[in-house]
Structure 1
Amino acid sequence: MFCSRQSVFLPNFLLLTGAMVLLLLHSSTTEAYSGLIPADPDNPGKCIYRGDVLKPGVNEGIAPCQRLTCNQDGSIFIEGCGRLRIEKCNNGERIHMDKPFPECCKLRYKCKKPDGSPYYIERDAFGGDQQNKLRR
């Protein structure tokens, strides 16, 4: 049976795309996220993320507030913070986008009191429990 490189690449690409979509959907309703992006079979030993080649080891400052670790086999361990859903509040705005992960996870939310007047709250979308889990 003939098996072209494209026929092997397509299922892997679709699997990776589906995993990233699920990761993004999950991050919109929860705090922190992490996962492993498999190596690209067409680029052995290279970490490719959104079309860019990452340097080996830890890569900080990847939008939107993420840390990517490029492994020797070309796989990428991704860590990031999502946005919390808080009733009667907006989606939140990052307070420290210029700081490295996880310091950039702090968000400021504009909320409404029952009388309609606004108030602001700050939350860390990368909670202490998650920090401990990812450090293990």
Structure 2
Amino acid sequence: MGFLLCEPKSATCTHLSELSDISHDRVNRFLQRENVAPKDLFLEAAARLILEGGTLFVDDTVRDKPYTHDTALVGHDDSGKHHKTVKGINLITLYYTDMKGYNLPVNVRICDPADGKTQNDYFVDRLKQVLA
């Protein structure tokens, strides 16, 4: 579930199955059957990753919501795509790329404007969780 929620390019059971060497039908059945958290899915995928010598990197993404009424999670954030401030939902995602080039999200957080935290604060929180 975590992979499918935060994969920025190809969030499909087929793409996850290609990365994990499991059939997409099996991934789909698993997601329908289980109540999984992102950590559960990462632990499942971790057995297929080389967890030494890889790279951990952060991505902040703004999911544009220009027509959404103001809600708790919709804020105004800088967008690299639009090169200006846009209305949307801001996500901070940590990705791990192993020595074979497999890339999986390992932690994701929706930034809540009410928290009063900066993107750097969210990044440090995510990093501490991954390294714990």
TM over 0.5: no
Structure number with the higher helix fraction is 2
Rg larger for:
1
TM-score w.r.t. the length of structure 2 is: 0.27
Task: Indicate the structure whose relative CO is greater, using CA pairs within 8 Å and at least 6 residues apart.
Answer: 2
Structure number with the higher strand fraction is 1
TM-score w.r.t. the length of structure 1 is: 0.27
